[in-house]
Amino acid sequence: MRLTLHRFDNSASNGAGANNSNPLFWQRFIWGALAGLVSAFIVIMTPFDVLETSMLEWQYGVADRINAESTQIKISHEVTLVKFDDNSQFHFSITKFDNPYAQRILAQLIEKIERFNPVMVVVDLDLRGATEPSLVSLMQRNRNIVLALFGSPEDGNELPSVDLLKHSAATGRDQLMREANGVVYELPVTYELPPTQTHAQFANPYVGSLAEAVIYLNKQITGVGPDCRFLVERGWTPFYLSPDDIHFPSVSFLSALPIELLKEKGLENRALPESAQEKLFTDKIVMIGTVMTQMVENPGAKGKKVEHIPNFHYQAQAVQTLLNGDQITTLPTPLGNALILFLGVVFGTIFSILKWPARTLLFFAALWFFLLAATFCFELGRVAIPLFAPLVVISATFILATFIFMDASLRVRNRELAEARRSMQVRAEEERQRIAEDLHDETLPTLSAVARMADKLAGELTDNPVPGEMRQRLDYSVAEMRRVINDLHPSVLETMGFKPAIENLLAIMASDRNIGTNFIDKDEFDENAISRFSILQLYRIVQESLNNVQKHSHANNVEVEISRRSDTLIIAVRDDGVGIATKAVRSDSHGILNIKQRAQLIGAKVDWRKPGNFSSGTELRIELSFELEHRREA
């Protein structure tokens, strides 16, 4: 049996270049995909409602800036606003429409508007508290009046009177969801069921929003209207208001009143001309609501006041958005989650296989592309794509993929260093073999020839002791030379195997140092299961350990035990000497460092401990996994 070091070196070097890059590429790919998947799942499970609202506010802000640059003013041709404002309140002393006087004034206004044949009249006023017969009679005659509900459907006392509810064409909740910034984004519409006629018994407790009621009645009257039900059934909710800046034709409540009523107050000069009223009301959805100037504290500027946008304006914008079909839809939850998972997996894999400059460039490009794509979808596609969660996923995958790439690169470097050390060790063994062969073939014969010359001189010069002394010194040199040759290139290991080579080391120690030796073989070690390179490294580790025992331990007994536990080979070298200091193990002395490096080359574990069968001394324990050895060979 001969150690084929040259063959091992060639296969190791060729395999390193051919197999390292591809497995590491797929490791990065798979780990990147898993990291992206985990990041996406965490983001999906984390509520980001407030932050998503902030991103929605940003999208509306971008839309406002785009609209500000546009020279075209969008004017509503379907909706007219009648505003109950500060002047109307002041001149008619009306603060609420919960009394007969205020409702009579309202009835006269609606009757005046009905003369111009509007599509419908939407009363977005709080009518709780009174039942005015003239208003009820007007609603009976004109089946196109919609009432806004401000109370709760479960509490009849919080709703307009039964007569008003019974004779209205439709009813809807004046319900708007204001965000933390005070702005309304969400469209008050569900389209789960068509708004039903509300009556005293509330046979159908479902009451839709005011915008739904208006759109549903408009479809009944004109035959034209949107149908969002298919979007709701597929989960494309909530809907959001159109970002377009729409101008609504409007008139003051006071200016739209009959001229006779204005003359009583001496306000006939405030009356709107008939031609103007005809243009405003004919074939229009006329919405009557309160736009009183409300002043609220601005949290951003202490002591200052800002004007509050009334719900009435948002209701008109909601109706116009639905009429135009410009509602902003949102991705259904399953589709949105699928998008986040897709982004996580895609960017996780891509980021993990790209190098640092390309990865960073792609990261910022992906952020900007996604922002631009989301803005494009919002402005032109009328779809609000969730922004914050995908941005978090892209950022998280970038960070995780960076660590994955660094870890993979570090493992590549470590593998390259290990291969380099392995190659150096192979070359070192080759050099030792060459030196041993040179000593055996050249130096040793020369010494033997000189020894024979010394013998000849001793026979000729019998009375001279010098030739005899030369012969003794030459014999010692030859023996020492043979020992050095054996250390450099263990012939016993090649010819007889690992166990006899270890026994030979113990025999030499016993004869040279007068130390008691013991070899314990559990007969469970198959040399064919381990590569020749590993066998050589194990031999060198035991050899170095025995040298350390001879030089430093002052031991009287040494034993080497070879055993096996499951798929692990265990070699223990024990002595009863003074023991090894912990500082020596940690400081990595030359001998210990040599042992550690050789063990690392073959993937073995080494450990120094106190022996169990001696009262003092040191035990070097070597563990080599057969499974790891087989994978390395494969």
Does residue 219 contact residue 191 with C-beta atoms inside 8 Å?
Answer: no
Instruction: At 259, list the tokens.
Output: 């001229």
Confidence band, pLDDT 50/70/90 cuts, at residue 6: very low
* Distance (Å) of CA 382 to CA 159, 242, 265, 375: 36, 8, 49, 10
Residue 302's pLDDT is 43
Domain ranges of the chain: 14-67+335-414, 73-330, 497-634
Q: What rounded mean pLDDT belongs to the chain? A: 81
What the block records as the tokens of 51 is 């932050």
Say what the pLDDT of residue 73 is: 79
DSSP secondary structure of 249-315: PEEEHHHHS-HHHHHHTT-GGGPPPHHHHHHHHTTSEEEEEE----EEE-TTSTT-EEEPPPHHHHH
pLDDT exceeds cutoff 90 at 138? yes
Query: What was the pLDDT predicted at 206?
Result: 55
Structural class in CATH, domain 497-634: alpha beta
Spatial distance between the Cα atoms of 347 and 349, rounded to a whole number of angstroms: 5
Q: Please give the residue that has the higher pLDDT: either 628 or 506.
A: 506
Mean pLDDT of 249-273: 91
In this model, does residue 46 exceed pLDDT 60?
yes
Could you report the per-residue pLDDT of 503-518, keeping only the tens digit for each?
A: 888 888 888 778 899 9
Task: Check residue 554 and report its DSSP letter.
Answer: -
Name residues whose C-beta falls within 8 Å of residue 136's C-beta, 6 or more positions apart in sequence: 163, 164, 167
pLDDT at residue 391 above 60? Answer: yes
Lowest mean pLDDT among 108-122, 394-408, 434-448: 434-448
Look at residue 12 in the predicted model and tell me its pLDDT: 37
Q: What is the pLDDT of residue 17?
A: 38
| Enclosing H/E stretch for 323 | helix 311-324
For residue 483, pLDDT beyond 90: no
- Per-residue pLDDT, 13: 37
Amino acid at residue number 87 = N
The residue type of 602 is I
**Of 166-180, 210-224, 242-256, 299-313, where does mean pLDDT reach its minimum?**
299-313
Within 549-622, where are the H helices? 582-587, 590-602
**CA contacts within 13 A on the Cβ side of 426:** 22
Higher pLDDT, 625 or 109: 109
Residue 43 CB-half CA count within 13 A: 29
- pLDDT value for 420: 75
* pLDDT: which is higher, 332 or 411: 332
pLDDT of residue 7: 36
Q: Identify the three-state secondary structure at position 419.
A: helix
pLDDT value of residue 630: 58
Q: Which residues contact 93 (CB under 8 A, 6 or more apart)?
A: none
pLDDT at 409: 79
Element (H, E) at 82: strand 79-84
Please state, in angstroms and rounded to a whole number, the distance separating the CA atoms of residues 447 and 438. Answer: 13
CA-based angle 244:249:252, to the nearest 5?
130
Mind listing the pLDDT tens digit for each residue in 11-41?
333 333 334 446 678 888 889 999 999 999 9
Query: Quick check: 561 pLDDT over 60?
Result: yes
DSSP character at residue 209: B
pLDDT of amino acid 154:
57
Percent of the chain with pLDDT over 90: 26
pLDDT digits (tens, 9 = 90+) for 81-118: 999 998 888 888 888 898 999 999 999 999 999 999 99
pTM of the model: 0.64
Tell me, what's the pLDDT at 566?
80
- Top-confidence residue, 204 or 310: 310
Q: What is the pLDDT of residue 11?
A: 39
More confident call, 4 vs 550: 550
462-487 mean pLDDT: 75
From CA 438, how far away is CA 432, in angstroms rounded?
Answer: 10
Query: In this predicted structure, what is the pLDDT of residue 358?
Result: 92
pLDDT for 100 equals 92
Residues 6+ apart with CB under 8 A from 211: 172, 187, 188, 189, 315, 318, 319, 322
List own/partner pairs for 184-187 with CB under 8 A and 24 or more apart: 184/241, 184/311, 184/314, 185/53, 185/56, 185/57, 185/60, 185/240, 185/241, 186/238, 186/239, 186/240, 186/241, 187/211, 187/238, 187/239, 187/240, 187/241, 187/318, 187/321, 187/322, 187/327, 187/328
